[in-house]
Chains A and B, each alone.
Chain A
């Protein structure tokens, strides 16, 4: 019993993490307070990080936790704390579009499930032969072939910082 359980531990953990991530995703839709929504989203992201770890791409799991949870969501939580909790938008959950939105959701999900249930296309045989990859392959590909893209992201981040400052300046100019 225990041996068979241990033999399938990978799959069991994958299913547990997947279901937890899904529950977190549902909570993001139904919870009322933005802070709780943020916590649900953080739990989803952490479970996705666990899935990446199980898949063997540990560095992506580390990025997921460091960048998404550590940077993006902490930023989001700060902003939620900054804003007024007496705002009616904080307590009224759904917009008037809730019924058409739900219908569109069901149709969209049905179309996606119909598309995937037919089976996924096979990976190209040449690519399939490559097998799994680790940090070494990633690092070599990253710094040998894609260093220019990496440098370009620094330009993107600089542009984002300048734009954020410009937006704040614009709001200051409006209010004196």
Chain B
């Protein structure tokens, strides 16, 4: 098993662990952190492939993804705080009526 395969396997494992976390955890903030875990897994695969191909463009893309992730968190956290203020809980089940 060479280096690239090892890193891609790690990226897959991190992505699927994050997905599992988003499905099974109850706390909204923990679900958000699991999404970050998924994003980290995808980033790892992107860096691995960029390094493999010797493409500096991949690194530029990773930088832009970091900025987008920061913007995403800057929006997501106020939304979570707004939800908590309304229902006084972080339990995702308390918002089940949102499914319409």
Contact = CB atoms under 8 A, between A and B. Distances in A.
Given A101-B23, A141-B60, A161-B74, A80 B29 contact: yes
A15 B67 contact: no
A22 B13 contact: yes
A76 interface: yes
Interface residues of B, number: 75
Contacts of B33: 28, 34, 37-38, 41, 76
Given A80-B29, A87-B91, A171-B85, A112 B14 contact: no
Contacts of A157: 67, 70-71, 74
Interface of B is mostly: helix
Contacts of A170: 82
Contacts of B91: 87-89, 92
A57 B47 contact: yes
B90 A83 contact: yes
Contacts of B37: 25, 28, 41, 44
A29 B66 CA distance: 23
A2 interface: no
Contact of A133 (B25, B54, B78, B81): B54
A9 interface: no
Interface string A1-43: 0000000000100110010011001101100001001100100
Given A37-B33, A57-B59, A149-B64, A95 B93 contact: yes
Among A29, A59, A150, find the residue whose CB has the most chain B CB atoms closer than 10 A: A29
B78 A120 contact: no
Interface in A137-163: 137-138, 140-142, 146, 149-150, 153, 156-157, 159-161, 163
Contact of A116 (B9, B26, B82): B9
A127 B57 CA distance: 11
23 contacts: A11-B3, A18-B7, A29-B24, A29-B25, A34-B30, A38-B33, A44-B14, A44-B37, A55-B47, A57-B59, A60-B59, A60-B62, A68-B36, A90-B27, A94-B25, A105-B20, A116-B12, A132-B51, A149-B60, A153-B64, A160-B72, A167-B82, A171-B86
